Amino acid sequence: MADFAAPPLRPFSIRLDRSSLELLPAGPVLTRRLSDLEGLFADEAAWRADVDNGDPIVYTVASSPVPETATELPQSITRIRPGDVAGELYFTKGHMHPVAEGEIYLGLEGEGGLLLFDGTDIEFLEITPDRIGYIPPGWAHRSVNVGSNDDYSFLAVYPGGAGHDYGWVLEHGFGARVYAGAAGAELRSYPQPALTLG
């Protein structure tokens, strides 16, 4: 548990600063660089070359002071930068909740999407400003920036006791990847041909 907030919490308000896309009061900030996404991009050689050529920041997660503990409802703002590795668009690590719980994402800026996988079925939800994506229990989820030039940011609200299983993604994948295509972002299922999104 973070040292800035310990249960039981007293009621308080959190402000979303729309100009800076910050939660106030602020909590911890997590920064993920390309090197933190080892084993997740399809083209390992291109990933390694990009890591060796500056290891860019792919995304940040800025949390509120609400702790990730059972019975609490934390919030965070994720900002994914535009970019790709050999055409595969920048994304978050993605995870499954070990404790099956739902989650919502509210689009704040840019163009993005939610890639979801339950081990059998694949879903892709387009998320733009003021659109909410609902993640049901039992679906692994990853966010992708599908805009070519702008950051994609969203607000997440999730159960604090749900947890984050990143190993599930390494073992099972997402059944599909999102690439930059001539007509926009393309969802490429592992054995199937590309499908144009939007």
Strand order across the 152-157 sheet: 29-33, 57-63, 75-80, 152-157, 103-109, 132-135
Residue 2 scores a pLDDT above 50? no
pLDDT tens per residue across span 170-192: 999 999 999 999 888 999 987 64
More confident residue, 198 or 142: 142
The CATH architecture of the domain made up of 17-196 is Sandwich (2.60)
Residue 7 scores a pLDDT above 70? no
pLDDT tens per residue across span 26-51: 999 999 999 999 999 999 999 999 99
H helix count then E strand count, the chain: 2, 16
Q: Decide: residue 53, CB within 10 A, 0-12 exposed, 13-18 middle, 19+ buried.
A: exposed
- Give the pairing type, strands 122-127 and 112-117: antiparallel
The pLDDT confidence band at residue 193, using thresholds 50, 70 and 90, is very low
pLDDT tens per residue across span 60-69: 999 999 999 9
- Predicted pLDDT of residue 9: 84
User: Residue ranges per domain, the chain?
Assistant: 17-196
- Predicted pLDDT of residue 13: 95
pLDDT tens per residue across span 74-130: 999 999 999 999 999 999 999 999 999 999 999 999 999 999 999 999 999 999 999
